[in-house]
Structure 1
Amino acid sequence: MKTKLLIFMSLLFIGFHSCEGSDSEIIFHQSHEPSRANVLFSDAVETDNQLFLTGQIGKDHKKGTLVPGGIEAETKQVIENIIDVLKYHNLSLDQVVKCTVILKDINDFKAFNSVYSQYFTKKPARTTFAAAGLAGGASIEIDVIAAK
């Protein structure tokens, strides 16, 4: 009985001991884009082996305006913005495991999806919904989670 109790206590100690050091470091990354240096949020947040990107809209960051051309043009710009952030962190779209897509108009779903499917060939998990309005007058916003 003593042996079983000692084994149990040892396993219990090992379990508690392994949990002690499990606090993950969280890194809040500023944007690599000079025009976004003073925004009130992180461009990406890193913890363990994951990178959480802030939502991107179809804004050309060099010009400071939404790209013209409607939902397809904005979708392409959104994904190019995501690619830029991922590349800055030595990642690619192939490492994206989850996308959240917000459309201003759910009727744009088919047009958005035709562009999206050209880029996300690994088919990460995805949630898509519509909202009454998006920041900057955008038609679409996408945020992603990537595995490092």
Structure 2
Amino acid sequence: MKPINYLYIVLLLSFFGCQSGKKDITFHPSHLSERQNTPFSAAVETENLLFLSGQIGKDHVKGMLVSGGIEAETKQALENIKAVLAQHNSSLDRVVKCTVILADINDFKAFNSVYVQYFPNKPARTTFAAGGLAIGAKIEIDVIAAK
């Protein structure tokens, strides 16, 4: 009797698992009617993860950035993320990774004072500053959440 090559079996199972997984990606448009024609998805769902597009501190009801500086914009961006997650039956406690882009790295301390109120689980995070953000925003945040 020939010995079983377990590596061969694992590779076969991995290959067939990957092939069937191709259909398990869903590209979700925004839940906001005015954002239905954006050139990106509000969220992309895979078998185990939910990837959200970046959110800025824009009040989508008023159609403008909130006033009050980095702290107010951070709070609004996180509330926007919370709303998108809720739309997909998820929540902030399921977030495993955040990417934070600040317009000014000097806003880090003020941003962080708001951020920690939303993420007691302390997901992995990358934070950096960029030369400019959409519509003059001070912050943009995107997240990846486990389903």
Q: Give the SS at the match of 2:34.
A: helix
RMSD: 1.4
C-alpha distance in 1 between matches for 2:11 and 2:68: 57
Give the alignment's TM-score, normalised by structure 1: 0.92
Q: State the identity as a percent.
A: 67
- Larger Rg, first or second structure (1 or 2): 1
Other-structure match for 2:90: 91
Task: Indicate whether 1:22 and 2:10 are aligned.
Answer: no
Structure 1 position 56, deviation (Å): 0.2
Other-structure match for 1:62: 61
Structure 1 position 91, deviation (Å): 0.5
Give the alignment's TM-score, normalised by structure 2: 0.92
Aligned partner letter, 2:97:
K
Displacement over 4 Å in runs of 4+ = none
Give 5+ residue unaligned stretches, structure 1. none
Structure 1 position 34, deviation (Å): 1.2
C-alpha distance in 2 between matches for 1:55 and 1:19: 32
Assess, with a 3 A threshold, how the Cα gap between structure 1 residues 17 and 49 changes in structure 2: closer, same or farther.
closer
Structure 1 position 11, deviation (Å): 5.8
C-alpha distance in 1 between matches for 2:79 and 2:17: 38
Assess, with a 3 A threshold, how the Cα gap between structure 1 residues 14 and 132 changes in structure 2: closer, same or farther.
closer
Other-structure match for 2:78: 79
Give 5+ residue unaligned stretches, structure 2. none
